[in-house]
Amino acid sequence: MNKLILIAALAAVAHATAAPALAPAEKRVAIVDAAGLNLATQRGVQSLDRRIRHAAAELCGSPSAADPRGRRDVSSCIDGAVAGAAAARSRAIALGQSGRPVLASGQ
C-alpha cells in the first residue's frame, strides 16, 4: 500500500471578537493523498507540502477581496492547519524515506 493519509484538524477562525468565550472553534478535517509521491526526494516532499497547503486553503475558504480582516483570518487559518499537519507530515516523510508503506494521521 503506497498511500499516505494526513489528517489536519484545524480550529476554524470563528470571528473571535464576536463572542470569544461563547463560540467554540469549529473543527474541520482534510485528507491529503500522497499516493504516487516519492517522499524520499525533495520533489516528492514539495508536492506533499503543496497538497497540504491546498487542502488547508480549501478548508479555510476565501474571503471577499474587500475584507482585509477576513483575508488575515483565512491566512491565519491556513497557517494553523499546515502547522497542525506538521507532525504527521514529518512522520510520513520519515516512513516514506524508509521505503515502507505509510498511513499517518495528525491531531
Q: What is the pLDDT of residues 60-104, one digit of tens each?
A: 888 888 888 888 888 888 898 898 888 888 888 888 776 665 554
- The verdict on residue 14 lying in a domain is no
Look up the domain containing 90 and give its range.
35-107
- The verdict on residue 16 lying in a domain is no
Amino acid 43: pLDDT? 96
Give the residue among 8, 7, 5, 4 at the shortest CA–CA distance from 83.
8
Q: Is 47 a residue whose pLDDT tops 90?
A: yes
- Cell representation of residue 34: 500522497
**Residue 42 one-letter amino acid:** Q
Which of the two residues, 46 and 80, has the higher pLDDT score? 46
Q: Give CA–CA dist 78/80, Å, rounded.
A: 5
- The verdict on residue 26 lying in a domain is no
Dihedral sign, Cα of residue 37, residue 61, residue 72, residue 84:
negative
